[in-house]
Amino acid sequence: AQSVAQPEDQVNVAEGNPLTVKCTYSVSGNPYLFWYVQYPNRGLQFLLKYITGDNLVKGSYGFEAEFNKSQTSFHLKKPSALVSDSALYFCAVRDDPRGSTLGRLYFGRGTQLTVWP
Amino acid sequence: DAEITQSPRHKITETGRQVTLACHQTWNHNNMFWYRQDLGHGLRLIHYSYGVQDTNKGEVSDGYSVSRSNTEDLPLTLESAASSQTSVYFCASSRTTDMNTEAFFGQGTRLTVV
């Protein structure tokens, strides 16, 4: 079965510093990987995705993620954090759409990112 | 603009009552999903649908049901509300055949069962 692990419940970083939010995955077949962000009292918003191609994926709001097949990781990164980046971040993996579950998303537990001024 | 809306945004109900949460999307997406979000568990899939008249159980489907009579709506019903169903519920939709497609989420419904 597909699964996603986010090993850190919380990440704290000072504004202007680089940030990393970790994600590892387990899939059968090719991974389809996503990052979503949730601001307080809002639904999840799509940030970026890896389907195939370059291992470094660029997304919204200056975020990027690095796909590492050998380490089965898809860490979210940003070179310079902003206070407004403070939110809950979810990593997700999608089933192979050709399989029986037709592309369901499996989410990690989420990582609360706090960026202090 | 196309969107996905949930109603109500907040709901307080009593144990044992039947409750229905609405989800409506205007993207004409075939795929629709219901998740619940709880501290320490992240998002867990309750039910999902890949088209009209299609419904499937997710990982935490007990006590919940859905129906899909048209493309736009996937209402979630709690047959007999329990305190364990106090949670924030999110509806999502995505296109059906494109494996690259991300999901779009509603703003959530906060349900309290007392």
- Joined together, the tokens standing for residue A89 give 């971040």
Has residue A27 got a pLDDT over 90?
no
Contact check, Cβ <8 Å, A46/B97: no
Residues of A in contact with B96 (CB under 8 A): 102
Q: Which residue has the higher pLDDT, A100 or B114?
A: B114
Q: What is the mean pLDDT of chain A?
A: 90
pLDDT in tens, chain B (114 residues): 668 999 999 999 999 999 999 999 998 898 999 999 998 888 899 999 989 999 999 989 999 999 999 999 999 999 999 999 999 999 999 886 555 678 889 999 999 999
- Joined together, the tokens standing for residue A52 give 């195939």
CA dihedral angle for residue A109, residue B65, residue B81, residue B8, rounded to 10 degrees: 80
Looking at residue A97, its pLDDT comes to 58
Has residue A113 got a pLDDT over 90?
yes
Looking at residue B98, its pLDDT comes to 59
Residues of A in contact with B90 (CB under 8 A): 43-44
Cβ atoms of B111 and B13 within 8 Å: the answer is: yes
Count of beta carbons in the 10 Å neighbourhood of residue B80: 11
Report, in angstroms and rounded to the nearest whole number, the Rg of chain B calculated over CA atoms: 13
Compute the nearest-CA separation of B54 from chain A (Å): 13
